[in-house]
């Protein structure tokens, strides 16, 4: 029982100058009702890094503050929602109400998905679709998952990152009847177990994959080849996952069509650029309390993620350097006022190293050895392979956990390098991301799934496809009213009224059709700006 004391009344006697009256009121707290405000008590250190969090409850994000009621893996306990549904594995189903509030907040900033529910929910364009997903499980992706369910799909979901799951949101999904297998702080074994639970359930045959990083695709291809051949298609949203798809295609082993959402304009220009621009500072501040003014920072890679990261850091007064092997991107960095340099040339003087390349071992042991004490190292790419962590797992280096997702790597001479999130994706591991930008990507993903599922036989071959620009424009148009209310002017600018009329012979069509690269596309919903 916790006690708190209120000194309600203190009076002084003029003659004796002593306290005459102190009213002390004891206040009793119900600890169960304070569940979401507790801080975990466990603060142990570890000598070597592992791919699991020190405590699955550690986070500075409101959506991830957890009760430290037990340290058991969720695999070891049976949970049911209020309806008796138990086909899920999460941290704590009791947090569902809190997670629901987080989802409702995200919905306010995700207008296009809500429009899809309203316009197509009655038609159920995904009726009969069995979607297995492997993405970050956050309030924003929960809105996408529930949108797919509202459109008729059955969904089973796992996390693509062991640190990014918001446990309360996972609980809300489970309470709503979604089979979700994820919790913050999974081990590597937990990670693959959760993916397998999504695929290998009794009486379940997935026919669509929504992937972020290619892990779900890789697992089904390797472990369930018969199920892989029965899929209608794959939707992939990350550069890492797309690269893995092209590897399969090059080897002639991609036997189903795939949609490359990562290279869609809506993904590159909004999610990769603006999302990272706003979230990188949030992740760094929450973990290190660093001040950026005057700091020297090197950003490895000047793609869209690198561009957004550099812009945010420069705006706060940091001196930013860029490493880039692509001559076009390198020239862009120069034109934007950044000095393009090699990592070896600048590594001794920088205060911060940020990787944004999608490649392997960009920062190696030779770079770590040259860093000055206090240098912060983090990754904004999908995979932690950008930082050569294996080279740091040696007996002469000591690892010390000083904060959730913050490790000090200590050299024999006392030098300390600060590693964030064990080299995993900084913003989603250590902070949150803007719902509005995520809405753009999520809407594109939903439309890609609808297209793959409803496409007639023969429209797509065993290849990788990009969504047409017209669909990107459509997604953008659904979001413009959120920031610009002059919808009549918007119609004139985008010419949606004319294009819809010419394609369908009506001013308020129930479908928008077009042909691009000899492939016919159909949006089986009304354009919200035309109707």
For residue 508, is pLDDT > 70? no
Give the tens place of pLDDT for each residue, 397-445. Answer: 999 999 999 999 999 999 999 999 999 999 888 988 899 989 999 999 9
* Structural Rg of the chain based on CA atoms: 25
The CA–CA distances, whole Å, from 420 to 227, 315, 442 equal 37, 22, 27
Indicate if 284 and 364 belong to the same structural domain. yes
Query: Could you tell me if residue 268 is inside a domain?
Result: no
Whole-number pLDDT of residue 482: 74
348 in any annotated domain = yes
514 versus 71: the higher-pLDDT residue is 71
Residue 488 lies in a domain: no
Domain membership flag for residue 95: yes
Tokens describing residue 415: 């030098």
Closest CA to 364 of 356, 350, 353: 353
Q: Which long-range contacts (CB under 8 A, 24 or more apart) does 71-78 make?
A: 71/42, 73/190, 74/183, 75/190, 75/193
**Residues facing 26 on adjacent strands:** 5
Instruction: Inform me whether the pLDDT recorded for 188 exceeds 70.
Output: yes
CB 102 within 8 A of CB 168: yes
Same domain, 380 and 407: yes
Please indicate, yes or no, whether residues 300 and 421 belong to a single structural domain of this protein.
yes
Predicted confidence (pLDDT) at residue 337 exceeds the cutoff of 70: yes
Are residues 406 and 449 located together in one domain of the fold? Answer: no
In a domain, 422, yes or no: yes
- Residue 303 inside a domain? The answer is yes
Mean pLDDT for all residues in the chain: 82
Torsion angles phi and psi, residue 435, rounded to 5: -65, -40
Containing structural domain, residue 402: 273-430
What CATH number corresponds to the domain at position 168? 3.40.50.1480
Structure tokens at 489: 């002017």
CA distance 360 to 289: 28
In order of 126, 512, 519, the CA distances from 505 in angstroms are 26, 11, 21
Q: Give the total number of structural domains in the chain.
A: 2
Task: Give percent of the chain above pLDDT 90.
Answer: 66
Contact assessment for residue 426 and residue 414, using Cβ atoms and an 8 Å cutoff: no
37 occurs within a structural domain: no
pLDDT tens digits along 150-169: 999 999 999 999 999 999 99
How far apart, in whole angstroms, are the C-alpha atoms of residue 436 and residue 458?
35
- Residue 101's SS3 state is helix
pLDDT (mean) for 190-202: 95
Q: What tens digit of pLDDT does each residue of 358-378 get?
A: 899 999 999 999 999 999 999
Reply yes or no on whether the pLDDT at 48 is more than 60: no
The verdict on 101 and 250 lying in the same domain is yes
Beta-carbon contacts of residue 88 (< 8 Å; ≥ 6 apart): 79, 81, 173, 174, 178, 179, 180, 181
423 and 472 housed in the same domain: no
DSSP state of 403: E
Q: Is residue 292 located within the same domain as residue 380?
A: yes
pLDDT tens-digit readout, 438-475: 999 999 999 999 999 999 988 999 999 998 888 889 99
pLDDT tens, residue by residue, 247-293: 999 999 999 999 999 999 888 888 888 989 999 999 999 999 999 99
Task: Report the distance separating Cα 263 and Cα 87, nearest Å.
Answer: 35
In a domain, 55, yes or no: no
Q: Are residues 97 and 235 in the same domain?
A: yes
What is the pTM assigned to this prediction?
0.77
247 plus 122 within the same structural domain: yes
Q: Other C-beta atoms within 10 Å of 118: how many? A: 13
Which one of 478, 493, 508 terminates a domain? 478
pLDDT at residue 515 in the model: 52
Residues 97 and 224 in one domain: yes
| 252 shares its domain with 289 | no
CA–CA dist 366, 409 (Å, integer): 15
Residues 307 and 394 reside in one and the same domain:
yes
Residue 487 has pLDDT above 60, yes or no: no
Query: What's 300's domain CATH number?
Result: 3.40.50.720
**What are the φ and ψ backbone dihedral angles of 228, each rounded to 5 degrees?**
-60, -40
Q: How far is CA 191 from CA 144, 169, 376, 406, 450, in A?
A: 21, 18, 27, 21, 28
Q: Across-strand partners of 235? A: 210, 259
């Amino acid at each position: 029982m916790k006690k708190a004391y209120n000194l309600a009344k203190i009076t002084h006697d003029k003659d004796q100058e002593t306290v005459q009256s102190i009213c002390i009121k004891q206040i009793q707290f119900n600890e169960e009702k304070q569940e979401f405000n507790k801080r975990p008590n466990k603060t142990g250190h570890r000598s070597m890094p592992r791919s699991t969090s020190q405590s699955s409850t550690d986070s500075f994000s409101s959506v991830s503050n957890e009760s430290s009621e037990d340290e058991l893996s969720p695999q070891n306990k049976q949970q049911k929602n209020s309806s008796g549904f138990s086909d899920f594995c999460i941290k704590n189903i009791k947090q569902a109400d809190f997670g629901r509030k987080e989802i409702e907040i995200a919905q306010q900033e995700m207008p296009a998905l809500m429009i899809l529910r309203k316009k197509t929910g009655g038609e159920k364009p995904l009726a009969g679709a069995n979607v297995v997903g492997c993405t970050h499980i956050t309030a924003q992706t929960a809105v996408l998952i529930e949108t797919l369910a509202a459109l008729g799909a059955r969904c089973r979901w796992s996390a693509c990152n062991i640190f990014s799951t918001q446990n309360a949101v996972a609980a809300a999904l489970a309470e709503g009847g979604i089979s979700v297998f994820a919790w913050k702080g999974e081990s590597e074994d937990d990670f693959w177990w959760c993916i397998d639970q999504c695929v290998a359930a009794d009486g379940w045959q997935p026919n669509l994959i929504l992937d972020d990083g290619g892990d779900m695709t890789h697992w089904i291809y390797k472990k369930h080849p018969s199920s892989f051949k029965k899929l209608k298609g794959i939707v992939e949203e990350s550069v890492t996952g797309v690269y893995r798809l092209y590897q399969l295609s090059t080897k002639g082993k991609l036997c189903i069509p795939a949609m490359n959402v990562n290279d869609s304009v809506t993904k590159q220009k909004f999610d990769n650029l603006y999302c990272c621009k706003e979230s990188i500072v949030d992740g760094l501040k929450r973990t290190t309390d660093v001040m950026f003014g005057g700091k020297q920072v090197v950003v490895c890679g000047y793609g869209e993620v690198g561009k957004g990261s550099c812009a945010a850091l420069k705006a706060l007064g940091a001196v930013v350097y860029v490493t880039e092997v692509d001559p076009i991107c390198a020239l862009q960095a120069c034109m934007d006022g950044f000095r393009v340099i090699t990592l070896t040339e600048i590594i001794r003087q920088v205060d911060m190293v940020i990787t944004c390349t999608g490649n392997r071992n960009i920062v190696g042991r030779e770079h770590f050895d040259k860093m000055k004490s206090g240098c912060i190292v983090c990754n904004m790419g999908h995979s932690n392979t950008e930082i050569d962590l294996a080279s740091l797992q040696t007996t002469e280096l000591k690892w010390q956990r000083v904060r959730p997702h913050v490790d000090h790597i200590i050299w024999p001479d006392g030098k300390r390098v600060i590693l964030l999130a064990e080299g995993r994706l900084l913003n989603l591991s250590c902070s949150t991301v803007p719902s509005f930008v995520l809405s753009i990507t999520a809407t594109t993903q939903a439309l890609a799934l609808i297209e793959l599922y409803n496409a007639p036989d023969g429209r797509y071959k065993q290849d990788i496809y990009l969504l047409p620009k017209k669909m990107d424009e459509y997604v953008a148009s659904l979001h413009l009213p959120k920031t610009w209310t002059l919808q009549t002017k918007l119609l004139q600018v985008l010419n949606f009224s004319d294009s819809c009329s010419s394609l369908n012979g009506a001013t308020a069509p129930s479908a928008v059709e077009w042909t691009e690269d000899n492939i016919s596309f159909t949006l089986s919903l009304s354009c919200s700006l035309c109707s």
